[in-house]
Amino acid sequence: MKYPETKKILNQAVADLNQMIAVVRQTHWYMRGRGFMKLHPLMDDFMDDLNEQMDVISERLIAIDGAPYSTLGEYVENTKIPDEKGRWDRTMEERLEILVKDYRYLNDLYEKGLETADKEGDAATNDIFTGFKAANDKRIWMLQAELGKAPEIDA
Ligand SMILES: [Fe+2]
């Protein structure tokens, strides 16, 4: 069987991306405060990106004979991104900080993924994780800028 460790990370990303999409959707719905008029529609762009990443990663996994998680139960069971029931008392800043934290987790996973793919000789998966990590770094930069902070990508 080819690329065993790479497959595990691809599937972890499938579970985490589905959870991340739910977190961003909750942010889209539950945010209140300054910036709402811009940030509410921006969350739609974030969801589009994450959905695209999830589909590409799932289909890469299938292409190398893997089987992506595909039920809500599997996503919940396997994701490492936390969630919480919707609440109205979170500040806009707290919500953006949660997104930064989750994007950082995702990028740590992608970094592990691109290194593992490289080690196992799966150049195509390495390329996928490398590209998506750069896209997420840009999201982190922009969220951090909105919070008045440096990107701190290596923090
Ligand atoms: Fe909406």
CA 42–ligand 1 middle distance (angstroms): 10
Provide the Cα torsion 18, 46, 54, 100; round to 10°.
-70
pLDDT tens per residue across span 63-105:
999 999 999 999 999 999 999 999 999 999 999 999 999 999 9
CA 119–ligand 1 middle distance (angstroms): 41
pLDDT tens per residue across span 102-128:
999 999 999 999 999 999 999 999 999
The owner of tokens 């990663």 is 57
pLDDT range class, residue 37, cuts 50, 70, 90 = very high
Q: Is residue 17 part of a domain?
A: yes
Residue numbers of the domain that contains 131: 4-146
Q: CATH number of the domain at 124, please.
A: 1.20.1260.10
Q: Is residue 54 part of a domain?
A: yes
CA 28–ligand 1 middle distance (angstroms): 7
The owner of tokens 């529609």 is 41
- Check pLDDT > 60 for residue 155: no
- Check pLDDT > 90 for residue 154: no
The number of domains in the chain is: 1
CA 100–ligand 1 middle distance (angstroms): 21
Q: Is residue 151 part of a domain?
A: no
Judge contact between 91 and 33, C-beta under 8 A.
yes
Cα separation, 56 vs 94, in Å, equals: 30
